[in-house]
Amino acid sequence: MDLTPRPTPESPKRKRRFVPAVIAGLAVVAGVVIIGFFLTSSIDYYCNVDEIGVRDGCDDTRRVRVQGTVDEGSLESRGSITTFVMSFNGASLPVDYEGEPGGIFQECIPVVAHGRIVDGVLVATRIEVKHSNEYEAENAERITEAEKSACS
């Protein structure tokens, strides 16, 4: 009687279980990378005018939200484009906005312009003038700083 153990052939079940696990893992990694890319590229960085080109994220490589005060005498309408200069802490930034900002938009008031910086000009797609009560409560010091730099 021969009592030596017989070699067992490799089970194909192990290979089949391994392949779906690898595919599922790759799908999860790809999903995380894609979601991370889209989330980081869709963020509008919030900057003051004096932070443009100085603070990380406040440059011409992405969309930004820029806070400043509309300079007195800088507001002009050229066809469908509204142009003005906004300032904060001694720094100025020209702004081009397609359309009429409307509402209470005027010179010497703090605004937030959303857009991209192209050749040193903020090409705005949205202008915000009035902050919500929630924003005012959370960012009172920003509003105070902006109002200090407003026209007299």
Average the pLDDT over 53-63 and give the result: 81
Distance CA(11)–CA(18), nearest Å, equals: 12
Is residue 132 a contact partner of residue 143, using CB atoms and an 8 Å limit?
no
Among residues 100, 95, 86, the alpha carbon closest in space to that of 149 is found at 86
Count of structural domains within the chain = 2
Does residue 80 sit in the same domain as residue 131? yes
Does residue 19 sit in the same domain as residue 38? yes
| Phi-psi region at 89: left, alpha or beta (left = phi > 0; alpha = psi -120 to 50) | left
Amino acid identity at 80: S
Q: What is the mean pLDDT of the chain?
A: 81
Does residue 28 sit in the same domain as residue 58? no
Domain boundaries, position 25: 11-42
**Which pLDDT belongs to residue 124?**
92
Asked whether residue 5 is domain-assigned, the answer is: no
Asked whether residue 126 is domain-assigned, the answer is: yes
In this predicted structure, the answer to whether residue 136 has a pLDDT above a threshold of 70 is: no
List the alpha helices (DSSP H) in 6-132: 12-41
Q: What is the pLDDT confidence band of residue 82, given thresholds at 50, 70 and 90?
A: very high
